[in-house]
Chain A
Amino acid sequence: MREELLSIIEKNGRIGLNELAVRLGKSEIEVANEIAALENEGIICGYQAIVDWEKTSIDKVTAMIEVRVTPQRGQGFDSIARRIYNYPEVKSVYLISGGFDLMVTLEEKTLKDIAIFVAEKLSTLESVLSASTHFILKKYKVHGTILDKHEEDSREVITP
């Protein structure tokens, strides 16, 4: 049930216990226990809404920053990653294989805020060798959800 349960709530975190139980063919108690276990084990780390800020009047700028760093003895990349992710404006930090080390996603109100963060906070960290900033122009698909989707059922209305 774990995999199926996770794949349902990964798409819809607000689904009710009753519906989950029906869809999985389990009792509500079984499902509730499983969710509690998944939360305790840190497998479910949180629940959040997918927001398309574009459609609001609120300004947001997102940038993806490729960061090259010097790993530290005994700590590898973990301690520098921690230094970076503790900034609240940092939305995600991934360790990446290939040409650079960390992929940092940053969300701010204006381009200038991002420039300041990169110049003053990120680049001045001791082990950061370089940071190359890419601004996001449009989000098409976020967390498995297509944002510019035009829902339409192009099937014939009744078929045998």
Chain B
Amino acid sequence: MRNFLSDKVLEIKPSGIRKFFDIVSEMKDAISLGVGEPDFETPWHIRDEGIYAFEKGRTFYTSNSGLLPLRKEISSYIERTQEVYYSPEKEILVTVGGSEAIDIAMRALLNDGDEVIIPQPSYVSYAPCSYLAGGKNVIINLKAENNFKLTPEELENAITDKTKILVLPFPNNPTGAIMGKDDLEGIAKIVKEKDILVLSDEIYAELTYNGRHVSIVSIDGMKERTILINGLSKSHAMTGWRIGYACGPEEIIKQMTKIHQYAIMCAPTISQYAAVEALKNGDEDVKMMRNSYNQRRRFLLDAFKKMGLECFEPYGAFYVFPCIKEFGMTSEEFATRFLYEEKVAAVPGTAFGDAGEGFLRISYAYSIEKLKIAMERLNNFITRLRQQ
């Protein structure tokens, strides 16, 4: 038989997380700190709204762009948090999670050979999605000494006359880094000068711990050259509902909607009804979860400090990214030994790009009780390593 598979797909490496997944699944009493989703269940009033939607028979397709009431809620959310207005009719598209938005944005924008700048460490989807859409990926390795922020110099050096898109993944998974208004202004200046477009993945926007998240769209002249991606997965603990969205210039959203229409039809209807409730009446839940994450974040940073483990203070998402270079192992070796010897799973930084070498992603989407046990084990582990 011939090889039926696409050369392009064969080129893509499978996710580096898979191996750990297999080992942890086999281990009975292992503690995982490797999860990239909230530990909270979706707040009850939101689930309740989903149940009502079922009862009322909301089991049909919605319009391709998503329920208008939902798009209106999204528009009002961005207006009240960023003071930027997006037209619910023309500039907002409801997608199947933020990940679909990333995919179709790349497909709507890229021609073969267009360059896409991807700062790493970052979420695993950008590079494959861009590659499948014909993009040529240009990776910027973010540096620990800059607290894993993207600097204007790094950006400027990566830009060529083929550059089309800059992916801006902040608050960042896996580092927890955020970009403040000043940081973003430096980036925006170059983006405008060089006439490129920003794909701003702000899925962790509600999870910042030193003041509110600032979106690059709130900077003058940036709304027209940014696709803002967000969703309810992280903010409202709704990962399984698959509701994300993209906001951007009308002509881009129009083309993205075309792909969405042919590939997806519409985001799940029941989930969209639940999402309306989440955006309308969910602010208190978000606040409660944010406070809880923040307590755990402080707890972990304090635990690292006591163990003498180097870690910059992250102010976003629900990850800490400690440095393990002192042990003279690769991230993968460290994570593998930690898993076998102490039965705690953390994700090697390299799963998010080469720039993650020497670091470990630890998620704090776990109860304090669980984190306490995990930190005791981490302490045992590194104490032993230091004695050897």
User: Could you list which residues of chain A lie within 8 angstroms of chain B, going by C-beta atoms?
Assistant: 4, 7-8, 19, 22-25, 153, 155-160
Contact of B32 among A4, A7, A23, A157 (CB under 8 A): A157
A158 and B299 contact, CB distance less than 8 A = no
Given known pairs A8-B295, A23-B368, A24-B295, the reply for A155 and B39 (CB within 8 Å) is yes
Residues B291 and A4 in contact, CB atoms below 8 Å apart: yes
> Quick check: is B20 within 8 A (CB to CB) of the other chain?
yes
B24 lies within 8 A of A160 (CB): no
Measured between C-beta atoms, what is the minimum distance from B301 to chain A in Å?
Answer: 9
Complex contact A158–B21 (CB within 8 A): yes
Residue of A nearest to B30 (CB): A157
Known: A23-B368, A158-B347. A153 touches B39 (CB 8 A): yes
Q: For window 232-258 of chain B, which residues contact chain A by CB distance below 8 Å?
A: none
Known: A4-B291, A23-B298. A157 touches B21 (CB 8 A): yes
Contact of B298 among A22, A153, A156, A160 (CB under 8 A): A22
Determine the residue in chain A with the shortest Cβ distance to B370: A153
Contact: B295 with A158, CB < 8 Å? no
Contact A157 B368, beta carbon cutoff 8 Å: no
Q: In whole Å, how far is A23's beta carbon from the nearest beta carbon of chain B?
A: 4
Given the known inter-chain contacts A160-B15, A160-B124, A160-B351, please indicate yes or no for A155 contacting B35, CB distance below 8 A: yes
List B contacts of A19 (CB < 8 A). Answer: 299, 368
Interface size class of B (residues with CB under 8 A): 20 to 34
| Contact B35–A25 (Cβ < 8 Å) | no
Q: List residues of chain B with CB within 8 A of the CB of A7.
A: 291
Apart from A156-B35, A158-B17, 19 more pairs, CB < 8 Å: A4-B291, A19-B299, A19-B368, A22-B298, A23-B295, A23-B368, A24-B295, A24-B298, A155-B37, A156-B21, A157-B32, A158-B21, A158-B34, A158-B35, A159-B35, A159-B37, A160-B36, A160-B123, A160-B125
Tell me the nearest residue of chain A to B174, going by C-beta: A160
In the assembled complex, the Cα of A158 lies from the Cα of B36 at a distance in Å of 7
Closest to B366 in A: A153
Task: Say whether B17 contacts A160, CB under 8 Å.
Answer: yes
The answer to whether B21 touches A22 (Cβ under 8 A) is no
The complex places the Cα of A24 from the Cα of B34 at a distance, in Å, of: 25
> What distance in Å separates the Cβ of B384 from its nearest Cβ neighbour in chain A?
24
Known A22-B302, A23-B368, A153-B39: A159·B34 in contact at CB below 8 Å: yes
Closest to B352 in A: A160
Within 8 A of A (CB), among B277-330: 291, 294-296, 298-299, 302
Q: Could you list 19 A-B pairs, sorted by A, with CB under 8 Å?
A: A4-B291, A23-B299, A23-B368, A25-B298, A155-B35, A155-B39, A156-B21, A157-B34, A157-B35, A158-B17, A158-B24, A158-B35, A159-B17, A159-B34, A160-B15, A160-B36, A160-B125, A160-B347, A160-B352
Expressed in whole angstroms, the minimum distance between the Cβ of A45 and any Cβ of chain B is: 23
Q: In the complex, what residue of chain B is closest to A158 when comparing beta carbons?
A: B34
Q: Which residues of B contact A22 (CB under 8 A)?
A: 298-299, 302
B36: chain A residues within 8 A (beta carbon)? 159-160
Q: Are B39 and A157 in contact (CB under 8 A)?
A: no
B345 within 8 A of A: yes
Q: Rank and list the top 9 A-B pairs by shortest CB-CB distance, nearest first.
A: A158-B34, A23-B295, A22-B302, A159-B36, A157-B32, A157-B24, A158-B21, A160-B124, A25-B298
Closest Cβ of chain A to B309, distance in Å, is 15
Chain B residues 151-196 with CB under 8 Å of chain A are 173
CB distance from B23 to the nearest CB of A (A): 9
CB-CB under 8 A from A8, the residues of chain B are 295
Nearest-neighbor residue (CB-CB) of A160 within chain B: B124
CB–CB A158/B298 < 8 A? no
